[in-house]
Amino acid sequence: MSTQEPQPGSPPPDACRGGIERRQVLSAAGAGWLALAGSGAVAALATARFMFPNASEEPDPRVAVGPVDSYARMPAGTVDERRKKDGVWLVRLPDRLVALSTACTHLGCILNWIPGERRFACPCHGSGFALDGANTEGPAPRPMDRFGVSVVDGLVVVDRSRRFLGGKSDRGSFLSL
Ligand code: FES
């Protein structure tokens, strides 16, 4: 007797194979729909993140740099370099305090303060600037830019969102001392 013979009452071999194929097709379609729904959810989250960015990632443009009294006591001609990492030099001029941007007005290289020569020098193309930010040599087309300065609760606050191009002496670009 052959083992290939169907037993009485059992479904024909082709019917079994057809059932398995249908289940495989249905489960593949389900996986496809799940993948589509998942990628849709990811896209929706990315869109929501784009539409509502986390504002706290932006650095605060205002920097409290120290008591106004300490700057008033600084001798005229002094450059406070402690805020160079924030892109700012505090310069004590004879009658005022200014906050100069450390970026060269030619192409934006970071300037260096040369104490022995009493000037700011650009390492990129040789521009030079006087203590008050005036451009004195090289290709820089204008004086150093200034940031807004004010006094809040006795502290000098530099506002890097207020930029006075070319060191304009407009209101808010210096503190009278
Ligand atoms: Fe300063 Fe060119 S970037 S001279």
- 87: left (phi > 0), else alpha (psi -120 to 50), else beta? left
**For each successive 10 residues of the chain (177 residues), what is the average pLDDT?**
55 55 72 79 73 68 95 96 96 96 98 97 98 97 96 97 88 92
Residue 139 CB less than 6 A away from ligand 1: yes
- For residue 2, the model assigns a pLDDT of 47
Please choose from 111, 125, 129, 144 the residue to mutate so as to test ligand 1's pocket, defined by most ligand atoms within 8 A of CB: 125
Please choose from 124, 129, 135 the residue to mutate so as to test ligand 1's pocket, defined by most ligand atoms within 8 A of CB: 124
SS3 content of the chain, % helix, strand, coil (to 5): 30, 30, 40
- For residue 10, the model assigns a pLDDT of 58
Distance (Å) of CA 9 to CA 4, 16, 21, 131: 15, 13, 22, 104
Residue nearest atom 4 of ligand 1, based on CA coordinates: 125
Residue 104 CB less than 6 A away from ligand 1: yes
pTM: 0.68
- For residue 76, the model assigns a pLDDT of 95
Residue nearest atom 2 of ligand 1, based on CA coordinates: 125
Ligand 1 atom closest to the CA of 126, numbered from 1: 4
- For residue 52, the model assigns a pLDDT of 63
- For residue 50, the model assigns a pLDDT of 67
- For residue 8, the model assigns a pLDDT of 61
